[in-house]
Amino acid sequence: MSITPYRRVLAVRDARRVLLLGFLLRLPIFSAGVILTLHVVSHLHRTYTEAGLVAAAGTIAIAVSGPWRGRLLDRLGLRRVVAPSIVVNGVCWSIAPFVGYWALLVLSVVAGLFVVPTFSVIRQGVIAAVTEVDRRTALSLDGIVVELAFMTGPLLVVWLATVVSTTWVLFGIEMVGVVVGVLLWWADPPLRDASTTGSTAAPVQRAEWFRLKFVLFCAAATASTIVLTGSDVAFVAAMRQWSATASLGLVLVVWSVGSIVGGLVYGAISRPLPPSLLLLGLAVTTAPMALATSPWMLAAFSLLAGIFCAPTITATVDAISRVVPPSARGEAMGWHGSFMTTGSALGAPIGGVAIDHFGFGGGFVSVSILGALIALLAAAGARPRTGRPVEVEHRLAA
């Protein structure tokens, strides 16, 4: 595996800056569910169901905001969209940690609706910073940054919650997001390369690009997060069945390491792979985890399954960036993020129902079967049809 593509990407200052900002912005996002649950249960003395309601409400709000905020990003530019996010989130999260349950729920929804459109901004910034040849490598690096934030954020807030009150941990981690939002506003990274900046004068209608191929790529993204979140629940169930809950962290870290390795390899190979093929690989390698009989065996299986995690999501982002015109990428990436968020919301209950009936193995198998079916449907639907252009960009450029 050659590291030359990564050297080229990391040699670009804008790429390095956007990737760093992306890591910092995602820390509060991936930490929010954990710290909100701890805060509601331990500080507000509410049930886990009520804690889940707050997390779910905030997640739904973020999913709703994705396309809306992304469309504004395309029309108004980064600073005019990020500025209200900074103000609204600064106000909401300076109050929310210190109020009661229902006020916290309402404020988390408002903050979610005005969240910084991180995934749209960062992915567009990464794409704009590099050449088309290095796009997949840069997006793979962003996928690895996502994995690192996913691993680091929850561990950080859980540790901090053992040292100080959850009130101040929640306040602190959300204020980090606000401060980084200010840095993002100040940096104002380009979201389009110089060759496409003129497209802002002629906005492209949604009907021009929101077509079957785009939906299929988003469906693959949804399926990937269904498999991942369903697997999360199955991991917990397996550890509880073996009375080895203390080893859960080990398995999750091994799983994430596999994803990072897979992302690095995928970013360095010379040709892209279809998202549907990678999704099928993720589904097929997830199923054998149902056969594990110990934490160590499960960790070994998870390493293999993890190899397909980051590449699958990266491939969907890369594919969408090539079928959507640059002037609509903000909204498109917002839709992509919303589809992924929807998958995250569906994966846990789907896996949970199967676990209740068939044990932890049922959790892995159920989401694996669903992921494989969607992969096959996406592959069938994405077959090129005679006489139709491959990319929207080519047709619009004519």
DSSP letters along 102-130, please? HHHHHHHHHHHHT---HHHHHHHHHHHHS
Which tokens hold the place of 195?
Answer: 């060759």
Q: Do domains 13-198 and 204-382 have the same CATH topology?
A: yes
User: What pLDDT shows up at residue 170?
Assistant: 93
Quote the CA–CA distance of 180 and 193 in Å, as a whole number: 23
Q: Which residue has the tokens 């906005």?
A: 203
Task: Give SS3 for 257.
Answer: helix
Confidence check: pLDDT of 65 > 80: yes
Of 185, 135, 179, 146, the C-alpha closest to 19 is 146
Confidence check: pLDDT of 121 > 50: yes
Asked if residue 363 lies in contact with residue 240, where contact means CB atoms within 8 angstroms, the answer is: no
- Is the sign of the CA dihedral 282, 346, 23, 303 positive or negative? negative
**Backbone dihedral angles phi then psi of residue 205, each to the nearest 5 degrees:** -70, 150
Q: Which residues have a Cβ under 8 Å from the Cβ of 103 and sit 6 or more positions away? A: 95, 96
Domain boundaries defined on the chain: 13-198, 204-382
More confident residue, 204 or 128: 128
In the chain, the amino acid numbered 289 is M
Helices (runs of H) and strands (runs of E) counted in the chain: 16, 0
Q: Which residue has the tokens 């990003």?
A: 73
Q: What's the average model confidence in pLDDT over 151-165?
A: 85
> Which alpha helices (H) appear in 242-359, and where do they start and end?
248-268, 275-286, 295-306, 309-323, 329-358
Asked if residue 1 lies in contact with residue 133, where contact means CB atoms within 8 angstroms, the answer is: no
Q: CA Rg, the chain, in Å?
A: 21
Confidence check: pLDDT of 195 > 70: no
Which tokens hold the place of 331?
Answer: 């909204």
Of 104, 4, 10, the C-alpha closest to 50 is 104
> Which alpha helices (H) appear in 39-97, and where do they start and end?
48-76, 78-95
Asked if residue 273 lies in contact with residue 311, where contact means CB atoms within 8 angstroms, the answer is: yes
User: What pLDDT shows up at residue 3?
Assistant: 81
CB atoms near residue 205 (< 10 Å)? 8
Q: What is the pTM of this model?
A: 0.81
User: What pLDDT shows up at residue 326?
Assistant: 87
Averaged confidence pLDDT in the chain: 87
Task: Give SS3 for 116.
Answer: coil
Confidence of residue 194 (pLDDT cuts 50, 70, 90): low
Task: Give SS3 for 191.
Answer: coil
| Residue percentage of the chain with pLDDT more than 70 | 93
Confidence of residue 390 (pLDDT cuts 50, 70, 90): very low
Quote the CA–CA distance of 140 and 314 in Å, as a whole number: 6
Quote the CA–CA distance of 346 and 367 in Å, as a whole number: 10
Q: What's the average model confidence in pLDDT over 173-179?
A: 94
Name the fold adopted by 204-382. Answer: Growth Hormone; Chain: A; (1.20.1250)
**Residue 370 region, left (φ>0) first, then alpha (ψ -120 to 50), else beta?**
alpha
Quote the CA–CA distance of 251 and 241 in Å, as a whole number: 15
Quote the CA–CA distance of 181 and 174 in Å, as a whole number: 11
Q: Which residue has the tokens 């139709």?
A: 388
User: What pLDDT shows up at residue 394?
Assistant: 37
Out of 2-6, 266-270, 312-316, give the one with best mean pLDDT. 312-316
| CATH number at 13-198 | 1.20.1250.20
